Amino acid sequence: MSEFDPEKFEDKYVHYFTQLQQAYKRAFEQMNERYDSTLVHAIDQQVLNESEPFFEEPDGFRVELPPEPYDRLDGVPVARERFETVMEIYLDVLEESLAEELLE
């Protein structure tokens, strides 16, 4: 793999699509092992499917969620507080996975 280029990441789906897929998959697998699989799957399919990863120097990767992520959950009864806790952890795992996949 070639060295990561922050400028190319602006057109990430052309230059880094495979690495993005791998990072999201790795994060899903890690979360699915540790947390309720129904909730993790719902977050993956109903929230993160509309997320957008960004790279900002010097901070690294961040993932922007769609508006009102809790309200996007359908068919998964979970308290907002529990969702927010798991979502925050998921974002940390995903951002770390993006860094591992694209920067290392």
- The model's pLDDT over 18-45, given as tens digits with 9 standing for 90+, comes to 999 999 999 999 999 999 999 999 999 9
Tokens of residue 42, six digits: 């719902």
Looking at the predicted structure, is the pLDDT value of residue 98 above 70?
yes
Amino acid 3: pLDDT: 86
Contacts of residue 102, defined as CB under 8 A and 6 or more positions apart, other chains included, come to 4, 9, 16, 19, 23, 55, 61
Q: Tell me if 1 is assigned to some domain.
A: no
Looking at the predicted structure, is the pLDDT value of residue 2 above 70?
no
Residues 72-81 as b/e (b if ≥16 CB within 10 A, e otherwise) read bbeeeebeee
Residue 84 has phi, psi (to 5 degrees) of: -65, -40
Q: Tell me if 70 is assigned to some domain.
A: yes
Q: Tell me if 87 is assigned to some domain.
A: yes
Confidence band of 1 (pLDDT split at 50, 70, 90) = low
Give the chain's domain count: 1
Q: List the domain range (segments joined by +) for residue 84.
A: 6-103
Q: Tell me if 66 is assigned to some domain.
A: yes
pTM for the full predicted model: 0.92
Whether the CB-CB separation of 48 and 24 falls below 8 Å is answered with yes
Q: Tell me if 73 is assigned to some domain.
A: yes
